[in-house]
Structure 1
Amino acid sequence: MIKTIMLLLLCLCTCFLSSCVEPRYLEKLGLITAVGYDQAEDEKITGTMVLYQFNPAMQDVEKVLISKSKTSKGIRLSQNLETDHKLVSGQLRITVYGRELAEKGISHLVDTLERDSSIGNMVYLTIADTTAEQILNYQMTERPSNMGTYLYNLVRQNVESETLVSPTLQEFITDYGSVGKDPMLPLLKASDGKVGVDGFALFTRDKFIKEIKKDKIFFIRSLMEDYDAGSVEVELPLEKFKPYLTSPHLGQEKDKVYIMIDSIKSSHKIKTEKKATPTFEVNLKIESRLLEMSEEMKLSNPKVLSLLENEIGNYIEKNIKEIILMLQEEGTDPIGFGMEYKSIRGHEDLSREKWDKLYKDASFQVKVENKIIRTGVID
């Protein structure tokens, strides 16, 4: 008798629960995969939305919707009137902000994403070199089935290959809300029938202030995250290596030798002391493989290998110093020197305004130790 009653109660509960779930038929939904925002006239925002629309009689169909409003939700409302599919954000993978809009600040638009319970905090945030509309509506030589999915996979594989710092919604919110650290997002560029990552967009608070080109990404990322399998191309003066060349100079430039190192394993430490004027000691240790060289050298000679290790280390050290100086002059701190300084102050409060003033006068000492553990080139 008791078992029968329990079974009836379970059935009733199942009926009540199922009635609370709104049925959603895939053919009637427009699955948003990417959104873009640009500055428009009259304080309005241009919104570009990429979505999947499913039709049983056709393959997956991409659709791009473009409209204007003063808020992102107003854009969404307007775009709902332009399609017979119900727009849903559960599959949103990437957001693109136009350059002009990003220079004015994007915190209000990021906050909208954070407040939407249907959007996960692992959505990627990016900046367009020109406009988000151009990026999302660009006609590539080989047009992907869905531009939103393509851009997401583009960023994801570069994050996994340790080329980019992860630009998730969660990372941006954390950096933006921290004293002593600024956000940094990938910069997308469309040209020659392709859309790719052209570098990093540096921020002060929520405003895009300067871009850093892709050939400099290694030097800033190496102080933010340790590498497990990174790579970088190095340009060294040829003069010191001339006695060790095994064949006549083959390079295009008479005074340079180009070297590619990969399989990089790195570890970095940033130390500071509790002083009125902050001083930072930056130490970077690198182990790498010599993958390719523009000149043939006697790598079996220990002197050559030692010279290469020192010169590559000096090259990386020089570039890191230049990057830090540039960041200091621009007043942006994506590496998080301010957070390191705050951590040794104990209970003393450090406001953003105070750190901005301290950062301008801070001094930095950089030391790079490089060790080549393998040579992937023919000796």
Structure 2
Amino acid sequence: MKKRCLLLLILLAVSLLGGCVENKYLESLGMITAVGYDESDNNELQGTIVLYQFNPAMQDVEKVLSSQANTTKGARLSLNFDTDHKLVSGQLRIAIYGRELAGKGISHLVDTLERDSSIGNMVYLAVSDTTAEDILTYEMTEKHSNKGTYLYNLVKQNVESELLIAPTLQEFITDTGSVGKDPILPILSASEGTLNIKGFALFHKDRFVKEIKNEDLFYIRSIIENYNTAGSVEVGLPLEPFKSHISRDDNSNREEMNEEEKIFIVLDSIKSDHHIKAGKQKKPTFTIKLKIDARLHEITEKLKLSEPKIMKLVEKETSKYIKKNIMKNIKMLQEAKVDPIGFGMEYKTVRNHGSLTQEEWDNLYKDATFDVKVELNLIRTGVTD
């Protein structure tokens, strides 16, 4: 019995001592949650980091450090002189690249992240509307415990809501290393006391070459990935086809309708299925079929949606609208010489072009033709405005 009591006391003492050591160890660490890179005035690399410093006596403690060097590791070494905490990368959540730097290519910087064994491949990447330093040093009206964590959650919740494509380190490396596929990253902006996603950066390999607005991403994303219940989109349809179906009590002057008037519809609970097929001829031709099931969540005019012919009209006009915008965005991608959808990979597979180079695909892509078919099925209706 005495031996058992003695053993229990020893185990208890060891666990308590272990806890003390662990606390002291955490207190000595500066856990990097975000990094940012810009090109400095003297052509060096400017690195900015956001740290989480553990302090049991306080809530989350944030510290932002910045330094210049020729390499990312050089900047990291320099930053060590600015803190009494040991810098560690295991909690890195997001890496941000300044707009000017991203336009010159970031593969060498991304490669550094990939080579760091302490950094996971699900780290998010983003581009700053101005500089990465501007984003990471911005004073937000609503205080957050750690800006790196906030930015990670900002991107994460939009990925989970299917409003953007997951901009992970793994996806970026895969896309830049593939012939016929380019990355897309979110663009972060600082304004009116908050940080937000203001658009998306289209890359040709590792260079940022074109910005698109948030509302255009739906039409690009819909033929890259399938939606599964969380997606939503607002469309503005010409009012003319619906003129005779709008209730007269609310619209007594529809005879004098402006041609530019629109009826706005919000679709949500979107489920989609897309197929892209390349033709076998030498000139790239693609057939794109997109099938969408969605709920009509909101509409800005009073229509008798209980009548099948009116629902069919809404489906027809919305399908035409989505097709038009997909075609418009594909043309934009061709003109910008970027291929985030992966048409080149599909062409390469169908024609067995195992040796197709990026330069060869760039020359073929600009003359590619596309046949887009969209089928929308409204599964139920929601509220009307």
Q: Find 2:341's aligned residue among 332, 335, 340.
A: 335
- The one-letter code sitting in structure 1 at the alignment partner of 2:62 is E
Aligned length: 359
* Residues 297, 384 of structure 2: 8 Å contact kept: no
Structure 1 residue 56, shift from structure 2 partner: 3.0
Structure 1 residue 300, shift from structure 2 partner: 1.4
Are positions 1:300 and 2:302 aligned together? no
- Greater shift after overlay, 133-142 or 76-85? 133-142
Aligned pairs for 1:67-78 within 5 A? 67-78=67-78
Are positions 1:248 and 2:254 aligned together? no
Structure 1 residue 347, shift from structure 2 partner: 5.7
C-alpha distance in 1 between matches for 2:383 and 2:77 = 59
C-alpha distance in 2 between matches for 1:73 and 1:143 = 30
- The one-letter code sitting in structure 2 at the alignment partner of 1:75 is A
TM value normalised by structure 2: 0.90
- Greater shift after overlay, 241-250 or 147-156? 241-250
Are positions 1:236 and 2:234 aligned together? no
Aligned to 1:260: 266
Structure 1 residue 101, shift from structure 2 partner: 0.3
Structure 1 residue 333, shift from structure 2 partner: 0.2
- The one-letter code sitting in structure 2 at the alignment partner of 1:270 is I
Local SS of the residue matching 2:236: strand
Q: Following TM superposition, where does structure 1 have runs of at least 4 consecutive aligned residues deviating by more than 3 angstroms?
A: 249-254
Local SS of the residue matching 1:187: strand
Aligned to 1:19: none
Structure 1 residue 249, shift from structure 2 partner: 4.0
Local SS of the residue matching 1:42: coil
Aligned to 2:201: 201
Structure 1 residue 23, shift from structure 2 partner: 11
- The one-letter code sitting in structure 1 at the alignment partner of 2:223 is L
Are positions 1:120 and 2:120 aligned together? yes
- Greater shift after overlay, 108-117 or 293-302? 293-302
* Residues 267, 297 of structure 2: 8 Å contact kept: yes
Q: Deviations over 1:352-379 (max 9, x none)?
A: 1111111011111111111111011259
For the aligned residues, what is the CA RMSD? 1.9
Aligned pairs for 1:305-316 within 5 A? 305-316=311-322
* Residues 144, 150 of structure 2: 8 Å contact kept: yes
Aligned to 1:364: 370
Aligned to 1:5: none
- The one-letter code sitting in structure 1 at the alignment partner of 2:279 is E
List alignment gaps of at least 5 residues for structure 1: 1-21
Aligned pairs for 1:203-218 within 5 A? 203-218=203-218
Q: Find 2:358's aligned residue among 347, 352, 357.
A: 352
Local SS of the residue matching 2:66: strand
Structure 1 residue 301, shift from structure 2 partner: 1.5
Q: Deviations over 1:188-244 (max 9, x none)?
A: 111111111112100011000011100111100001100012110000111111211
Aligned to 2:40: 40
Local SS of the residue matching 1:180: coil
Structure 1 residue 345, shift from structure 2 partner: 2.1
- The one-letter code sitting in structure 1 at the alignment partner of 2:145 is S
Sequence identity (%): 64
Local SS of the residue matching 1:77: helix
Q: Deviations over 1:159-209 (max 9, x none)?
A: 111111011000000000000001111111111111111121000110000
Over 3 Å counting, the alpha-carbon distance change for 1:48 and 1:348 in structure 2 is: closer
TM value normalised by structure 1: 0.91
Q: Deviations over 1:30-70 (max 9, x none)?
A: 00000000111222111110011122332221000011111
Aligned pairs for 1:1-379 within 5 A? 25-229=25-229, 230-246=231-247, 247-249=249-251, 255-346=261-352, 348-377=354-383
* Residues 300, 384 of structure 2: 8 Å contact kept: no
C-alpha distance in 1 between matches for 2:55 and 2:309 = 67
Local SS of the residue matching 2:82: coil
C-alpha distance in 1 between matches for 2:358 and 2:372 = 25
C-alpha distance in 1 between matches for 2:307 and 2:382 = 15
Local SS of the residue matching 1:158: helix
C-alpha distance in 2 between matches for 1:24 and 1:331 = 53
C-alpha distance in 2 between matches for 1:42 and 1:274 = 51
- The one-letter code sitting in structure 1 at the alignment partner of 2:250 is P
